[in-house]
Structure 1
Amino acid sequence: MKISPTDLILNSDGSVYHLNLLPENISNTIITVGDPGRVHKVSQYFDDVEFEMNKREFITHTGTIGGKRITVMSTGMGTDNIEIFFNEIDALVNIDLKTREPRTKKKKLKVIRIGTSGALQEDIKLGSHLVSDNAVGFDNLMTFYNLPMNAQEVKLSKKLKTATGLPFAPYVVKGSQELLETIGKGMIVGNTVTCPGFYAPQGRSLRLSLKFPKLLEDLNYFHVDDFWLTNFEMETAGYYALGRLLGHDVISVNAILANRITNKFSKDPDKVVDSLIKTVLERI
């Protein structure tokens, strides 16, 4: 069945609407970063860059390193942008853009998010690298999709709603175990909360009062058996949920720049991020 021109919007050159990419412009392994300025910080280590595209906050570089073809893309911040990224990147490999029909044989991509994050536990040191085993979505993106969750994920979701007093049940979803073992080898293994904002949703207050003033404390203390929340940021849950729905392998690795329990921030955040970039590129 053909997908309508208002559901799958293409540019005049046949590229997908927001990313401005054609199928040949990307590799099967995609590194993503939130900050457009961080794309070059990854691709500077490529042996060569064969393709570049700048469109909105979505900047794409594709090249090779050690003979392996890799794409790095920026997505901007928030799960709303991740939804655009994932639907359009999937369309490039699993929809025939000329006939507008889904391909019979589906391709599985490897997507590796390199991001920054704040720790929720006192013993997680600044400068650490943390790989997200599970993600907890405090955003509402999955309200609009039919995300399957297993019994343990449903249990955690219900208990989180009760513990935090939030008026909704967060969604909980696991990342790729294969990528966790390869890309995340030797890193702190954690469970990441994805928030729909940087300030109040992460317990920060400047001039506005917080509706949930104990949120930080609640997240710090929350646990079910050996499941503890370790850090928060703004994208991982969207990655893991859409990866599950679309059939792609996804992992999120985090440079810990802040510890929200000790109220300390890294003195050299660029160095921490660069170290994580090099580690990921060595393991791909």
Structure 2
Amino acid sequence: MKFEKSELILNPDGSIYHLNLFPEDISDTIITVGDPNRVTDISKYFDHIELKKEKREFHTHTGTLNGKRLTVISTGIGTDNVDIVFNELDALANIDFTTLEIKKNRIRFEIVRVGTSGAIQPEIPLDSFLLSEYGVGFDGLLYFYKNRGIQNTEISDNLIQHLGWEDGPLKPYVFKYDQNLADKISQNRIRLGVTITNSGFYGPQGRQLRLEPKDSGFLSKLAAFSFRNLRITNLEMETSGIYGLAQLLGHRAISLNCILANRATGEFSKNPHLAMDKLIRFTLERLTSY
């Protein structure tokens, strides 16, 4: 299969279109963050930085820490950006830019999202770390790809019934984390959770400023959902897209969340930068210890 130039778009210098990267610019171990400024918050701990590139909201630093080569890249907010980043990262690894054909020997990434999130269960403390066991997509991205065979339809079907959305236009999709990578990273201090990925920060997450949400009881309904001892724990904006695309492309991915807000109690972290820095240092220590 040879890709048309309109499908695999390269810049004049031969780099991939949005990320502005070449295949040799990235490691097989990748940390993704939403905020471009957080790339520096992570790479400042590297022993050596070999590459810094940026284009639009996509900032990339590659370097080494304790002898391990790492890449950290910003996705920007939302699964629409995740769609760009994951497809282009995979293309860098698994498509020959000279022949425009898929390589025979595939590369599998280990990808760790490090991000912030808001809890919806009152017992989840501020500044704690949560590993998303499942990502539940309320954004629709994965319905543009053939994926039915690897979705967890039991959870999504029960959630749809719980919300009373059987005839509604929005059908959540559910993907699980990579167990192997989670076992390498996780520790007892990290709780597992079921993470909702929303298509926005305000109305889609039940927030009200001047616009009134369609369903004022949305958050309480999510918090009340239970299926086989699984409860929805937190809300953010990338995890389901990361999990779904990673599985479809054959990569390993997990999402680590720093809980900065608790929507059930109305609280917000008193020192969000410090809390996030602790998660960053934890992630780097775990990634370089195996």
TM-score (norm 2): 0.96
**Partner in structure 1 of residue 221 of structure 2:** 218
**Partner in structure 1 of residue 179 of structure 2:** 177
**Partner in structure 2 of residue 132 of structure 1:** 132
Residue type of the alignment partner of 2:159: L
CA distance in 1 between counterparts of 2:181 and 2:124 reads: 22
Residue type of the alignment partner of 2:160: K
Residue type of the alignment partner of 1:5: K
CA distance in 1 between counterparts of 2:206 and 2:164 reads: 14
Deviations 1:181-228 (A, max 9, x none): 121222011110000000011110000111121110011000112011
Deviations 1:94-146 (A, max 9, x none): 00011000011211001100000000111100010000111100001012111
Q: Are 1:207 and 2:228 matched, yes or no?
A: no
Unaligned runs of 5+ in 2: none
**How much does 1:264 deviate?**
0.4
**Partner in structure 2 of residue 16 of structure 1:** 16
Deviations 1:147-198 (A, max 9, x none): 13458x2111111112223422200000111121121222011110000000
Q: Are 1:255 and 2:254 matched, yes or no?
A: no
Superposed structure 1 runs of 4+ greater than 6 Å apart: none
**Partner in structure 1 of residue 154 of structure 2:** 155
Q: Is the 1:184–1:253 Cα contact (8 Å) retained in structure 2?
A: no
Q: Is the 1:117–1:233 Cα contact (8 Å) retained in structure 2?
A: yes
- Give the RMSD, CA atoms, in angstroms: 1.0
**Partner in structure 2 of residue 7 of structure 1:** 7
Deviations 1:28-65 (A, max 9, x none): 00001000010000000000100010100000000000
Unaligned runs of 5+ in 1: none
Q: Is the 1:122–1:261 Cα contact (8 Å) retained in structure 2?
A: yes
Q: Secondary structure at the match of 1:11?
A: coil
Q: How does 1:101-116 map to 2 (within 5 A)?
A: 101-116=101-116
Q: Is the 1:149–1:173 Cα contact (8 Å) retained in structure 2?
A: no
Structure-2 change in CA distance of 1:274 and 1:91 (3 Å) = same
CA distance in 2 between counterparts of 1:244 and 1:122 reads: 32
**Partner in structure 1 of residue 163 of structure 2:** 164
Deviates more, 1:129-138 or 1:174-183: 174-183
**Partner in structure 2 of residue 68 of structure 1:** 68
Q: Is the 1:139–1:194 Cα contact (8 Å) retained in structure 2?
A: yes
Q: Secondary structure at the match of 1:123?
A: coil
Q: Secondary structure at the match of 1:112?
A: strand
Match of 1:272 among 271, 275, 289: 275
TM-score (norm 1): 0.98
Residue type of the alignment partner of 1:249: R
Q: Secondary structure at the match of 2:148?
A: coil
Q: How does 1:27-66 map to 2 (within 5 A)?
A: 27-66=27-66
**How much does 1:2 deviate?**
0.8
CA distance in 1 between counterparts of 2:247 and 2:150 reads: 12
Equivalent residue pairs, number? 283
Structure-2 change in CA distance of 1:158 and 1:18 (3 Å) = same
Residue type of the alignment partner of 1:183: I
CA distance in 1 between counterparts of 2:135 and 2:103 reads: 30
CA distance in 1 between counterparts of 2:215 and 2:140 reads: 17
Residue type of the alignment partner of 1:82: V
